[in-house]
Every structure is written in C-alpha cells, then in structure tokens.
C-alpha cells in the first residue's frame, strides 16, 4: 500500500502514521499547492489531509483512482472514507505496544520520577527531599537523587527496574504499564490510574502504593486494558473501515507477536 500524507501535529495522526509505516510505503507532502503533482507522481492508495486541503481536484483524482481519504477536521462526510473525524479535546496519546519489546525480567525495586516541565519542579523537589526516589528528566533538580535526562532506551531500562513510577503525562504512564511498572500519574481523569493533582494527594497516593502488596495484579489489569486499546489496534480498526484487508492481516500478526 502507498500512503501520501501531509505532516499533521496531532497525536492521533502520529499514532496512525507510525503503524502505517509498518505495512506501507509512505510519503509526506510539505508543499500543499503541489498536491496534484504529488498525487500523479506518487500514485497513493490512501491519502491523509486536512479538510481545507481537499479541493475539487483532489476529490476528482481520488474518485477516479479509487484512493481512500482520511480527512482531519472533517465536517462534511463526503470528504472522508474513515470515520476518525478529528476533535482537539479527543486528541489523546495512545499506548505504543512496541514498548513491550523492551521488557526485561529483572528485579523491580526503584521508585522513579520522570519530570519534563518547569511546572513540575515543586512536586519533584518535594519528592527528592522526602522519599527514596530516583529522578530523571530535562528539569534539573538540585539534589543527588536527580540523575539526569535519559534517552528513550535508557528510560525503558529505568522502568524495567522500577516497581513504581511517578509521571506527569500519559505517554510515560503507558510506557510504565507496558513494562510492568505501576504509575502514579498527575491528572487526567477518565483513566483507571492512580492519580494526583496536588502535593497532599501525591503524598496520600505514594504512601498507599508503597505499602500495597498487590501492585503486580493492579499493573497486570491496566496492561490488559492497554493491549486491547492502543495505537496499533486503532490503526487496525481504521484500515478495516477502509477495507485494506492485506494490511489489516499484517498488523494483526504484529499485534499477535507483541502479545506473546
């Protein structure tokens, strides 16, 4: 399959494109006024564009050549083939099951904190002074417990040896769960995580979790949820809707391998 897309700064788009690359040849068009030329040169089977860039020329080409369209920001059903109409408040990250390939069976003893925004300094500084934690991230904390900014691979290694992570975004929470680490997450409602929104609730959650003898069962439950709803299953569902049977078959095989 050949996929032509413009570059879109949305989580939902990044989830889709990451997995499409596993089963297709992809090309990104940056010069939208040249879209007609790009279509003729690349000859895609799937086109991903913002609604404002789907003009009569694009529609005519797609209709003539049976090119499926995923339209971001669609208010007109005729402009899209896949029903994934973009809405900003629904643009949440999804778990990336590729993280499962970094799983290691080693002792899990650490409580790790991942800080990535200046707004998180106060809570992280408090943790460094009051708990036996190891702190990582791009906000330097003036404490020996701060161990610098890890690479993505190093982060997976850290999570593999952590029994608990304290994190400030969904991606770090998802990565933790997939590597069998129980996350304590700032915010967001709507997920079955242990969450906090201030220092008092953070203290309550840490104290409760650190004496909890059932963390393995809890993280396994969360992991089962992610394995059934993630960026890969989202892509499979989208391609099923578009009737790309061969690519759905390939991605289902990848999903099966990751779940072994």
Q: Based on the domain organization, do 105 and 221 belong to the same domain?
A: yes
Q: Based on the domain organization, do 222 and 130 belong to the same domain?
A: yes
Tokens matching residue 46: 């799937």
The answer on pLDDT for 150 being more than 80 is yes
C-alpha distance from residue 58 to each of 3, 33, 36, 63 (Å): 14, 11, 7, 9
Q: Based on the domain organization, do 82 and 142 belong to the same domain?
A: no
Mean pLDDT estimate for the chain: 90
What contacts 24+ positions apart, CB below 8 Å, involve 181-190? 181/108, 181/112, 181/219, 182/209, 182/215, 182/218, 182/219, 182/222, 184/209, 186/120, 186/123
Counting the structural domains of the chain, the total is 2
The answer on pLDDT for 157 being more than 70 is yes
Q: How confident is residue 91, by pLDDT bands cut at 50, 70 and 90?
A: confident
Torsion angle, CA of 62/68/74/76, rounded to 10 degrees? 60
CB neighbours of residue 151 within 10 Å: 8
What CATH number is given to the structural domain containing 38?
A: 3.40.50
pLDDT in tens, 188-212: 666 788 999 999 999 999 998 888 7
Quote the domain boundaries for residue 158.
97-227
pLDDT in tens, 26-55: 999 999 999 999 999 999 999 999 888 989
Q: What is the pTM of this model?
A: 0.88
Q: Based on the domain organization, do 155 and 113 belong to the same domain?
A: yes
Q: What average pLDDT does the segment 212-229 reach?
A: 91
Greater confidence (159 vs 82) lies with 159
Q: How much of the chain exceeds pLDDT 90, in percent? A: 78
pLDDT computed for residue 213 by the predictor: 75
Q: Based on the domain organization, do 101 and 219 belong to the same domain?
A: yes
pLDDT in tens, 51-90: 889 899 999 999 999 999 988 876 655 555 554 555 544 5
Q: Based on the domain organization, do 246 and 211 belong to the same domain?
A: no
């Amino acid at each position: 399959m050949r996929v032509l897309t413009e570059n879109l700064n949305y989580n939902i788009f990044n989830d889709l494109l990451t997995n499409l690359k596993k089963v297709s040849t992809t090309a990104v068009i940056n010069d939208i006024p040249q879209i007609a030329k790009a279509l003729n040169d690349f000859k895609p089977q799937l086109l991903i564009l913002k609604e404002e860039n789907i003009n009569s020329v694009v529609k005519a080409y797609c209709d003539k050549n049976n090119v499926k369209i995923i339209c971001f920001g669609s208010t007109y059903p005729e402009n899209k083939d896949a029903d994934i109409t973009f809405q900003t408040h629904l643009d949440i990250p999804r778990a990336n099951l590729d993280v499962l390939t970094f799983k290691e069976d080693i002792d899990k003893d650490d409580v790790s904190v991942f800080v990535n925004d200046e707004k998180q300094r106060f809570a992280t500084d408090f943790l460094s002074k009051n708990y036996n934690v190891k702190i990582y991230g791009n906000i330097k904390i003036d404490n020996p417990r701060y161990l610098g900014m890890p690479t993505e691979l190093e982060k997976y290694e850290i999570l593999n040896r952590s029994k608990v992570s304290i994190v400030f975004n969904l991606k770090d929470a998802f990565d933790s769960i997939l590597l069998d680490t129980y996350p304590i997450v700032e915010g967001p409602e709507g997920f079955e995580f242990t969450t906090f929104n201030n220092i008092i609730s953070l203290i309550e959650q840490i104290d409760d979790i650190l004496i909890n003898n059932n963390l393995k069962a809890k993280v396994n439950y969360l992991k089962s949820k992610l394995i059934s709803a993630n960026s890969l299953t989202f892509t499979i569902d989208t391609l099923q809707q578009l009737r790309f049977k061969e690519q759905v078959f390939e991605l289902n095989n990848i999903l099966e391998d990751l779940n072994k």
